[in-house]
């Protein structure tokens, strides 16, 4: 029998924690979002953030811009938000258009408002093992979900199918802090199925809907699905082919109903870090 690692109960706990912190400290938190264009994934993510923020009485300043925006115009907007004392945190939906210098954009974000942990100052803290400040939210959500279900990471063999600076690399540091053994896989990894089958826990984040079927796993596999994309029917789904792995693997997190809901709430919780 496969265990489905749903996030509903944990999400309610995080909501309560956020509400208590806002009420006990008389806070009026405000988030600023920057979306370039109308990518369906970005729109869905933004919709989820707005829904969660509305339920917690958190203000959101949405900035929707053209994907052909001039770099200087985007940098000026970020500078304005950095200096706006009513704004507690900023997120910029990724990936950025190719004509923008991603490193320059990341550097422009105030480290105290950089909720997605993109500024090199915040990244360096994570890569040095300091996970007490801003850390990428999808990796944080995945670890919290495992902890909620009592799944211990110590000594576990973990495979991450993603080598990005917002998922794979920071997730590997969090896992190492929890004394797991980590393997990072990517597009040039050989024998991926062998690596995922030999892992205790697999984290998938390739953004290819329903890609991973049971041939990648064993009956004991625990899988955290971080990927989100549209399947052939136009529905938002994770990387896992759930019809194939149901009643086969040990446990997995669903999409929707897993990491996504937690990520939105953890973003809003991070917003309070420098508000008190």
Average pLDDT per 10 consecutive residues for the chain, totaling 276 residues? 95 95 93 92 86 93 96 97 96 92 95 90 79 83 97 97 91 93 96 97 95 97 93 91 96 94 91 75
Fold matches, 9-115 and 136-260 = yes
Residue in this structure with the two tokens 């900035």, named with its chain if needed: 63
CB 215 within 8 A of CB 193: yes
Fold type of domain 9-115: Rossmann fold (3.40.50)
Give the pLDDT confidence score for residue 128 in this predicted structure: 75
Q: Is 87 annotated as a binding residue?
A: no
- List the chain domain ranges: 9-115, 136-260
Give the pLDDT confidence score for residue 45 in this predicted structure: 83
Give the pLDDT confidence score for residue 230 in this predicted structure: 85
Q: For residue 78, with 0-12 CB atoms within 10 Å meaning exposed, 13-18 middle and 19 or more buried, which class applies?
A: buried
Residue in this structure with the two tokens 């925006």, named with its chain if needed: 69
Q: Cα–Cα–Cα angle for 114, 118, 121, nearest 5°?
A: 85
Give the pLDDT confidence score for residue 120 in this predicted structure: 86
Q: Is 162 annotated as a binding residue?
A: yes
Give the pLDDT confidence score for residue 27 in this predicted structure: 92
DSSP codes of every residue in 222-258: EEEE---EE-TTS-EE-SB-HHHHTTTSSEE--SSSS
- Domain over 136-260 is classified CATH 3.40.50.720: yes
Give the pLDDT confidence score for residue 275 in this predicted structure: 66
Give the pLDDT confidence score for residue 276 in this predicted structure: 53
């Amino acid at each position: 029998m496969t265990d489905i690692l749903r996030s509903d109960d944990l999400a309610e706990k995080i909501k309560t924690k956020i509400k208590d912190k806002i009420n006990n400290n008389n806070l009026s938190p405000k988030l600023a979002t920057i979306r370039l264009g109308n990518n369906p994934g970005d729109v869905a993510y933004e919709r989820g953030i707005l829904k969660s923020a509305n339920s917690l009485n958190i203000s959101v300043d949405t900035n929707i811009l053209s994907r052909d925006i001039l770099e200087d115009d985007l940098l000026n907007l970020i500078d304005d938000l950095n200096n706006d004392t009513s704004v507690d945190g900023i997120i910029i939906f990724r990936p950025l258009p190719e004509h923008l210098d991603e490193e320059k954009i990341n550097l422009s974000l105030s480290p105290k408002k950089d909720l997605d942990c993109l500024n090199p100052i915040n990244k360096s803290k994570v890569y040095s093992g300091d996970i007490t400040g801003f850390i990428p939210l999808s990796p944080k959500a995945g670890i919290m979900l495992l902890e909620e279900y009592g799944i211990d990471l110590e000594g576990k063999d973990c495979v991450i199918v993603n080598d990005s600076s917002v998922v794979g690399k920071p997730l590997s540091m969090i896992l190492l802090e929890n004394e797991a053994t980590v393997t990072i896989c990517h597009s040039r990894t050989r024998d991926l199925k062998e690596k995922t089958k030999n892992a205790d826990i697999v984290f998938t984040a390739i953004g290819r809907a329903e890609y991973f079927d049971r041939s990648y796993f064993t009956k004991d596999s625990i899988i955290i699905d971080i990927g989100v994309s549209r399947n052939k029917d136009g529905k938002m789904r994770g990387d896992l082919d759930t019809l194939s792995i149901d009643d086969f693997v040990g446990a997995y997190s669903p999409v929707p109903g897993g990491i996504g809901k937690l990520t939105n709430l953890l973003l809003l919780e991070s917003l309070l870090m420098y508000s008190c």
